[in-house]
Amino acid sequence: MSEFLRSPWVQRLAFALGGLLAGYLVERLVVKRMHNLAVSSRFRWDDLVVESLKGFSIVWLGCGGVYLALTVGALPDVAVSTVQSILMVLLIGSVAVAGMRFAGGTIEVLSTRTQGAIRSPTLSINLARGVVGVLGVFIILQNLGIDITPLITALGIGGLAVALALQDTLSNLFAGVQIILSRQLRPRDYVQLSSGEEGWVTDVKSRNTTIQTFPDGNLVAVPNSMLASSSVKNFSFPRPALWVSVEVGVSYDSDLEEVERVTLEVATEVLREIDGGVEGEEPVMLFHTFADSSVNFEVRMLVRDFRSQGPIRHEFIKRLHRRFNADGIDIPFPIRTVVMRREDEA
């Protein structure tokens, strides 16, 4: 039994398995406990660090066990160098993956604290992860003894050909970056394009921006280049509250002072009682037209967001119609008087 335990291959296997077991225990006992503590705290960065390192304890300690196994007994130099190169690739690659997680999470954390920016856009996260990933690949190649200078030169020359072949793709990519940096679109902003599409912005990707339409809830993918070059009306920026206008006409026989008083009372009541109204801002009423059969006026009410305008307008029209009927205020039908003259009179 003692001869079996003194065998180099048994000791190497023990080091390798011991490293993997130690990594598993650290992952289950230490990292899991750190994750629970991070979740219970209000600090976002500890969650980000733990999530970035999650799962790598087994890789790192396992590589350490294999490295110790190489020190036991004599092994061919080629085998040792090959295994060491593999361990180096695993270590640097795992650190790069952890860095990619951390970079993407940092974009998410910072974007939630930035006013007027897209929160956690896919394009920004992928670009941050891509930069860290490419840097990790260059470090691995350099540690493997591969000269990366010719590779960078070749990528620079080949980039011109790629840019010509992928003009539309690159145009959408840079347009997406412009949309994010301009900070004029935010998640859940209700926008209307000059082409007619309208809805809530959900994400900005490398090729398109997705918009969830209202009221059907379908997703519309708008190319970033089209979005950047077209006129966009943002109903949620700089503030989500917006004014709702309702056109009304009353008979020429109506007392306009009474009409104004009743209309403002109904509008104030609707804003106070219906969810979505903004109480701090008084409604506005202005007469503006002597029409063919009525005196027309406009009522403007401030609502909380775009979705609130439908219920507010609906309830206001119902209550105003009921109140006008109760107070004897007439909303006339369109009237046209036709005078017919006899031929002899003509």
pLDDT at position 121: 62
Apex 110 CA angle, 222 and 207, nearest 5: 20
Q: How confident is the model at residue 116 (pLDDT cuts 50, 70, 90)?
A: very low
C-alpha separations of 250 from 36, 51, 260, 295 in Å:
66, 65, 11, 5
The DSSP H or E segment spanning 211 is strand 208-213
Instruction: Answer yes or no: is pLDDT of 327 > 60.
Output: yes
**Does residue 345 have a pLDDT over 60?**
no
Q: Which residues contact 40 (CB under 8 A, 6 or more apart)?
A: none
Is there a contact between 188 and 174 (Cβ–Cβ < 8 Å)? no
What is the model's pLDDT at position 161?
59
pLDDT digits (tens, 9 = 90+) for 10-51: 777 887 888 888 888 888 888 888 777 777 777 777 777 778
Q: Is the peptide bond before 283 cis (omega within 30 degrees of 0)?
A: no
The answer, yes or no, to whether residue 180 has pLDDT greater than 80, is no
pLDDT tens-digit map of 127-152: 788 888 888 888 888 888 777 777 66
Note the pLDDT of residue 266. Answer: 93
Closest CA to 63 of 15, 107, 103, 28: 15
What integer pLDDT is reported at residue 4 of this predicted model?
57
For the chain, what is the mean pLDDT? 80
Cα(200)–Cα(235) distance, rounded to whole angstroms? 10
The amino acid at 109? V
Question: Is the per-residue pLDDT at 112 higher than 70?
Answer: no
Query: Tokens 């004897």 identify what position?
Result: 328
Residue pair 187/118 in contact (Cβ under 8 Å)? The answer is yes
pLDDT in tens, 247-271: 999 998 899 999 999 999 999 999 8
Predicted structure pTM score: 0.54
237 near 116, Cβ under 8 Å? yes
For the residues of 148-197, what is the DSSP string, one character each? Answer: -HHHHHHHHHHHHHHHHHTHHHHHHHHHHHHHHHHT---TT-EEEETTS-
**pLDDT at residue 314, rounded to an integer:** 93
C-alpha dihedral sign at 25, 28, 29, 34: positive
Question: Which of the residue ranges 40-49, 69-78, 259-268, 328-337 has the most confident prediction, judged by mean pLDDT?
Answer: 259-268
Q: Which of 25-29, 181-185, 228-232, 324-328 has the highest mean pLDDT?
A: 324-328
What was the pLDDT predicted at 179? Answer: 74
pLDDT the model gives residue 263: 94
Higher pLDDT, residue 135 or 170: 135
Within 10 angstroms of residue 329's Cβ, the number of other Cβ atoms is 19
Kindly report, residue by residue over 59-68, the tens digit of the pLDDT.
888 888 888 8
Q: Are 313 and 269 in contact (CB under 8 A)?
A: no
User: Sign of the C-alpha dihedral, residues 251, 254, 257, 261?
Assistant: negative
Q: Are 152 and 197 within 8 A, CB to CB?
A: no
Instruction: Give the C-alpha separation, 311 to 316, whole Å.
Output: 8
117 has pLDDT over 50: no
Cis peptide before 238 (omega within 30 of 0): yes
Tens-place pLDDT, residues 281-306: 789 999 999 988 899 999 999 998 88
Cβ(313)–Cβ(276) below 8 Å: no
| Alpha carbons 56 and 98: distance in angstroms, whole number | 8
**Mean pLDDT computed over 204-231:** 80
Query: How many Å apart are CA 277 and CA 7, to the nearest integer?
Result: 81
What mean pLDDT do residues 104-119 have?
62
How would residue 167 be classed by pLDDT, with cut points 50, 70 and 90? low
Cβ atoms of residues 228 and 276 within 8 Å: no
Residues near 331 by Cβ (< 8 Å), separated by ≥ 6? Answer: 248, 249, 250, 251, 294, 321, 324
